[in-house]
Structure 1
Amino acid sequence: MNQLCFFSSGLELAYLIVTSDLLQRSWKEISEIHKQNHIHINDLTSPSVSYKVYENRPNGTIIAFASSNQDTVSRDLVSSEELKGVFDFFDFVGTNVNRSFSVHKEAVTVFSSMLNELTLLKAQYGNSNPLIITGHALGGSIASLFTLWLLDSMSPYAKRPLCITFGSPLLGDKSFQQAISERPSWNSSFLHVVSNQDLFPQLFIAPCNGVADGFTSQTHLYKPFGTFLLCTESGCACFEEPESTLELLKAMGSKFVGNQNSQNSLRFTDYREILENLKHRSIYKGISQLDVSIMDPLLAGITMEITTIGVETQGDGGSLTTHTAERAKKSFIRKKNVFDPNKKLNDRKVDMAYLEWYKKVAEEEGGYYDSYKFGQSGSRDKIKSREEIVKRHRILTQYWKRMVAEAKKMPQKEGASFRIRWLYGGTNCRRMVEPLDIADYYKKGHRDYITRGRPEHYILLEQWLNEDMLGNAIERNRACSLTEDSCFWAHVEEAIILCDILKDGQSSPEDQRSSKEKLIRFEAFVMDMIKNYAVSREIFLPQSSFMKWWEMYSIFARQSVGSPLLDFMEEDYRNYA
């Protein structure tokens, strides 16, 4: 088995970005707002944010947000629970896995104060293509929140906006970061540009107010999301893995912080000069400095990236480099193993085709259900065929369990969209595969499958079907190929057990009466399905469990007054189609 070989492309991506003019154009628009509103370094009074829309630019429509730099910005977080009923605007960010999260309180406050204007912006430019949303300092935080709002309202197939921030502080806690990272298309929409000359982004890397001493870089309340372009006088590189990005931000700013007093450290940082500098630098400068003894290509790439942004890799025994490489490798593996239903769907169609074939050839053994339940003997070919079906059954079960789990953990809106796209396939699979689960269950001597043994993914697939348009009643004039109720055979098995209770005659009068009532209800259920052509004709095959039940129940049916199923079974069932 070949060992996976990992590489890091942070330098190539960084230089591709800085030479594309995209950053320069975005910063130019932000600078225009600074000039027009006279936002300067000395404006340290309030976190006011201004914006302007630039249409028909070479890169598309640009919405730019700018604010003053201030050392009075509060680092307090506010939780989504605290905002409920007051300003629960960002509830959509949470997922079923990360329901509660915390966001920079001041950013949320400024956003809420601008909500009317932002609503108009969203209505007018939300569907612009392409659309760039950019911002500086706290304006970058507003740009990020506005972008998240747009992403939530977009269809899964729409081209997403790109958010570019310059010198912005971190925006939310770990749950906030994870909720965004769980949506790869959202996470990839954010590019954060940070210079080591700009101390404003460093504000939230220190402990928040009220946090006890001993607060370490591993337990920071604020966590980064998206891609970070880290810039220094010596070069730039891109990083995405959150913990490594956080450590690098801290390491990159530590020297600069030590050499500046608090007033000067928050001076206005002009990213135009920084970007122009980087644009004219050659990526090859860092290659000659690389230790050629490093044979691991991932470690070599990470070493060059960290060296390029001027962070020492030797003083700590190389642990920063090693940890960054290890996290990058784990991140690559996670992305590689991300469940992509589209890639697997065609394979699952092949699995379903096997079950369809087995359904057709199983008629001589009582049909699909009974052949699977009892067909472990016979010719070698029959045994091999059943083994193949067992294998396909297992693969389909695992696939749809994971599909349902993915849809379940998504936010309500995204989960609903996911369900609509995949519910038809899930319903067919449920009707084809669940009878096999029922067969295994009752073969082991268990009872009450529906209340005790039914897997959750079947329950949810049926629930979602009933909630969505596909759950509407369908009028038929011929029998369906797959019995509509995927638990039909569980009902049959329970009805057979009830008939055994009546036949035995040893149960109490109360149990006898209860069994008869349940059988009458089952008879009505079957007759209703027959009238609606909601059962497959295979249930009437001579050796099927349903016919076994009917043979037992018909004795009681003839003793009762008016059995519609009795009339049907004696006259019409052979013509059921």
Structure 2
Amino acid sequence: MNQLCLFSSGLELANLIVTSDLLQRSWKEISEILRHDHIHTNGLTPPSVSYKVYDNRPNEAVTVFSSLLNELTLLKAQYCNSNPLIITGHSLGGSIASLFTLWLLDSMSPNAKRPLCITFGSPLLGDKSFQQAISERPTWNLSFLHVVSNQDLFPQLFIAPCNSVADGFTSQTHLYKPFGIFLLCTESGCVCFEEPESTLELLKAMGSKFVGNQISQSSLCFTDYRVILENLKHRSIYRGISQLHGSIMDPLLAGITMQLTTIGVETQGDGGVLNSLTTNTAARAKNFLMRRRNVFDPNKKLNDRKVDMAYLEWYKKVAEEEGGYYDSYKNRQSGSRDEIKSREEIIKRHRILTQYWKRMVAEVKKMPQKEGASFQKRWLYAGTNYRRMVEPLDIADYYKKGHRDYITQGRSEHYILLEQWFNEDKLLGNAIERNRACSLTENSCFWAHVEEAVISCDLLKDGQSSPEDQRSSKENLIRFEGFMIDLIKNYAVSPEIFLPRSTFMKWWEMYSKIARRSVGSPLTDFMKKDYRNYA
């Protein structure tokens, strides 16, 4: 078996960026703002932004962003999704640029051109959850390029560790986490890193000369990135393989070693052995690249789930003699040894399908509103078939345990969202009109309605329930009868609900005795004449 070979292209990417003039042009615009302390955009003149350092906490960026919301809203309205856009900022202005870019990304259509945000000397902005929410969306994460020099103190403001307590032990963690791509610059060269934990470690290593120094307003001297960028542009980044330790055969580890050497980070310990920072950075890079290969894709494993659904389809057919697959599953502890064994296989398939679709829905739910409001059609309708096939099995388990009110008390959120997204798709004109009965009942909560109707009949039959419960039960049965007629008229229920041993037929036998209608209702007429021909 061939082993997957991984490489690190941080040096090549950094070289491409610094020689493209993209950074120089961005810094030139910032320099103009700094020089004139104002900007003119279609007659708009937002005020210059002043800042102070408050207890080393970056929520000042959010405060400034909020104070400029009116001006930024006008700028946002002027942006056309079809035009390329570069958003840039320096120091705290870089944080404002990042927040503005995120605001744009969240409101953009999936096919729009993504803006590029370039920051210079910007401090870390958010916590781990904030970083993960962006990193899990590769198109978002790649929209941010953060340029950081080891001569700049400002990016070091929020990388100091804080104490956390877990299981009685105190450890040090970092509240603020990096996201996007970081171009790390030193006098000896520059490299690009994207993996968050390694980026954080390297930011700490680059800022080690500041450790122990008191960071104050007066110590935050201006760093001119123009000079830094010009020096990098004229410097040869490539360092030959001969500079690496002779025993490094892994191309990824070799690439990481070259990158760290380029920015002046020590890669070897005693005896010429690679130190923990080097090996840990390489290990995290490998995990990051592997996760990137397995980034969320609804296509993955969908074909395998079709096999699981085929098992349930088979079970649905063979369970007809037991009143249908709903009742067979609900009473699965009875029957022959082979029947019980078959149901155990269905339980396994049920579990696999539910785990898959719960994860699928959770991933889509985390996506931006424009991108994750619903699946593409293939997966949306696969999820709908899953919901209609599998949710009745959950309902069977729920009522077998003696519970009530499944729809309001027991229904899983992933079913609710799958149904919501399907209904939204129908509103777009994708509804299907039927002229024959469907193979799967469209309302996946149908059997919960039936079970509640059975409970209402029981309450009326025993004669011991309170007048209020009796009135409520009668109203529930009248509503259910109307509900059934609508489903039948629209061919929205499967013919299997009319199998002789089904819970629905048991309900009808009870209800027809309790109702004792002198005048036939639509459901009564249907059950007397037509239900055997329903198909």
TM-score of the pair, normalised by structure 1: 0.72
CA contact (8 A) 1:135 1:142 kept: yes
- Percent identical: 72
The equivalent of 1:242 in structure 2 is: 196
CA contact (8 A) 2:18 2:232 kept: no
CA contact (8 A) 2:33 2:39 kept: no
2:54 corresponds, among 35, 55, 76, to: 76
Match of 2:224, SS state, is coil
Q: Which amino acid aligns with 1:154?
A: M
Higher mean Cα deviation, 139-148 or 493-502?
Answer: 493-502
User: In the aligned structure 1, how far is the partner of 2:506 from the partner of 2:208?
Assistant: 80
How far the C-alpha of 1:225 sits from its partner, in A, is 1.6
How far the C-alpha of 1:151 sits from its partner, in A, is 0.8
The equivalent of 1:181 in structure 2 is: 135
1:105 corresponds, among 24, 40, 60, to: 60
Q: Would the alpha carbon gap of residues 532 and 296 (structure 1) be closer, same or farther in structure 2, given more than 3 Å must change?
A: same
Which whole-Å deviations, capped at 9, do the CAs of 1:351-392 have from their partners, x for residues lacking one?
Answer: 445544554565455434345445775696x77865654444
Q: Which amino acid aligns with 1:394?
A: R
The equivalent of 1:266 in structure 2 is: 221
Higher mean Cα deviation, 466-475 or 10-19?
Answer: 466-475
The equivalent of 2:11 in structure 1 is: 11
CA contact (8 A) 1:187 1:226 kept: yes
The equivalent of 1:576 in structure 2 is: 534
Q: Which amino acid aligns with 2:502?
A: S
Q: Would the alpha carbon gap of residues 52 and 456 (structure 1) be closer, same or farther in structure 2, given more than 3 Å must change?
A: closer
The equivalent of 2:109 in structure 1 is: 155
The equivalent of 1:57 in structure 2 is: none
Q: Which amino acid aligns with 1:430?
A: R
The equivalent of 1:405 in structure 2 is: 362
The equivalent of 1:554 in structure 2 is: 512
Match of 1:34, SS state, is helix
2:100 corresponds, among 133, 140, 146, to: 146
Structure 1 residue 508 corresponds to structure 2 residue 486: no
How far the C-alpha of 1:154 sits from its partner, in A, is 0.8
User: In the aligned structure 2, how far is the partner of 1:323 from the partner of 1:426?
Assistant: 40
Q: Which amino acid aligns with 1:165?
A: T
Match of 1:284, SS state, is coil
How far the C-alpha of 1:238 sits from its partner, in A, is 1.6
1:430 corresponds, among 384, 387, 393, to: 387
Match of 2:511, SS state, is helix
Which whole-Å deviations, capped at 9, do the CAs of 1:247-290 have from their partners, x for residues lacking one?
Answer: 3123213348999x9989835424365355356515233x3222
Q: How many residues align?
A: 515
Structure 1 residue 541 corresponds to structure 2 residue 499: yes
Structure 1 residue 253 corresponds to structure 2 residue 211: no
CA contact (8 A) 1:298 1:325 kept: yes
Higher mean Cα deviation, 507-516 or 159-168?
Answer: 507-516
Q: Would the alpha carbon gap of residues 154 and 430 (structure 1) be closer, same or farther in structure 2, given more than 3 Å must change?
A: same
User: In the aligned structure 2, how far is the partner of 1:565 from the partner of 1:508?
Assistant: 28
CA contact (8 A) 2:24 2:229 kept: no
User: In the aligned structure 1, how far is the partner of 2:222 from the partner of 2:60?
Assistant: 23
CA contact (8 A) 1:137 1:200 kept: yes
Structure 1 residue 480 corresponds to structure 2 residue 438: yes
Q: State the superposition RMSD in angstroms.
A: 4.6
The equivalent of 2:28 in structure 1 is: 31
The equivalent of 1:97 in structure 2 is: none
How far the C-alpha of 1:313 sits from its partner, in A, is 3.5
The equivalent of 1:194 in structure 2 is: 148
Which whole-Å deviations, capped at 9, do the CAs of 1:401-436 have from their partners, x for residues lacking one?
Answer: 122323444566655356999654433321121112
Q: Which amino acid aligns with 1:485?
A: N
User: In the aligned structure 1, how far is the partner of 2:12 from the partner of 2:4?
Assistant: 21
Structure 1 residue 283 corresponds to structure 2 residue 283: no
Q: Would the alpha carbon gap of residues 530 and 225 (structure 1) be closer, same or farther in structure 2, given more than 3 Å must change?
A: same
User: In the aligned structure 2, how far is the partner of 1:169 from the partner of 1:344?
Assistant: 40
Which whole-Å deviations, capped at 9, do the CAs of 1:150-196 have from their partners, x for residues lacking one?
Answer: 21221123231222223333334445434433433212211112222
Structure 1 residue 225 corresponds to structure 2 residue 222: no
The equivalent of 1:213 in structure 2 is: none
Q: Would the alpha carbon gap of residues 555 and 204 (structure 1) be closer, same or farther in structure 2, given more than 3 Å must change?
A: closer
User: In the aligned structure 1, how far is the partner of 2:229 from the partner of 2:26?
Assistant: 16
Structure 1 residue 456 corresponds to structure 2 residue 413: yes
**Long gaps (5+) in structure 1:** 40-47, 54-64, 79-101, 209-215
Which whole-Å deviations, capped at 9, do the CAs of 1:280-312 have from their partners, x for residues lacking one?
Answer: 515233x32222334665544433322221012
TM-score of the pair, normalised by structure 2: 0.77
Structure 1 residue 530 corresponds to structure 2 residue 508: no
Q: Which amino acid aligns with 1:27?
A: Q
Match of 2:147, SS state, is strand
Q: Would the alpha carbon gap of residues 114 and 378 (structure 1) be closer, same or farther in structure 2, given more than 3 Å must change?
A: closer
How far the C-alpha of 1:230 sits from its partner, in A, is 0.8
How far the C-alpha of 1:207 sits from its partner, in A, is 8.9
**Long gaps (5+) in structure 2:** 163-169
Residues 319-334 of structure 1: matches in 2 within 5 Å? 319-332=276-289, 334=291
How far the C-alpha of 1:525 sits from its partner, in A, is 3.3
Match of 1:551, SS state, is helix
Structure 1 residue 318 corresponds to structure 2 residue 313: no
How far the C-alpha of 1:227 sits from its partner, in A, is 0.9
Q: Would the alpha carbon gap of residues 181 and 516 (structure 1) be closer, same or farther in structure 2, given more than 3 Å must change?
A: closer
CA contact (8 A) 1:218 1:243 kept: no
User: In the aligned structure 2, how far is the partner of 1:476 from the partner of 1:220?
Assistant: 58
User: In the aligned structure 2, how far is the partner of 1:203 from the partner of 1:502?
Assistant: 71
Match of 1:483, SS state, is coil
How far the C-alpha of 1:334 sits from its partner, in A, is 4.7
Match of 1:448, SS state, is coil
Match of 2:373, SS state, is helix
User: In the aligned structure 2, how far is the partner of 1:475 from the partner of 1:492?
Assistant: 24
CA contact (8 A) 1:557 1:563 kept: no
How far the C-alpha of 1:75 sits from its partner, in A, is 2.9
Match of 2:111, SS state, is coil
Match of 1:439, SS state, is helix
CA contact (8 A) 2:260 2:267 kept: yes
User: In the aligned structure 1, how far is the partner of 2:90 from the partner of 2:76?
Assistant: 19
User: In the aligned structure 2, how far is the partner of 1:201 from the partner of 1:321?
Assistant: 22
Q: Would the alpha carbon gap of residues 560 and 12 (structure 1) be closer, same or farther in structure 2, given more than 3 Å must change?
A: farther
Structure 1 residue 446 corresponds to structure 2 residue 389: no
User: In the aligned structure 1, how far is the partner of 2:398 from the partner of 2:280?
Assistant: 48
Match of 2:87, SS state, is strand
How far the C-alpha of 1:571 sits from its partner, in A, is 1.6
2:449 corresponds, among 470, 491, 494, to: 491
How far the C-alpha of 1:534 sits from its partner, in A, is 2.8
Q: Which amino acid aligns with 1:147?
A: T
Q: Would the alpha carbon gap of residues 356 and 254 (structure 1) be closer, same or farther in structure 2, given more than 3 Å must change?
A: same
CA contact (8 A) 1:234 1:310 kept: yes
Q: Would the alpha carbon gap of residues 449 and 115 (structure 1) be closer, same or farther in structure 2, given more than 3 Å must change?
A: closer
CA contact (8 A) 1:49 1:139 kept: no
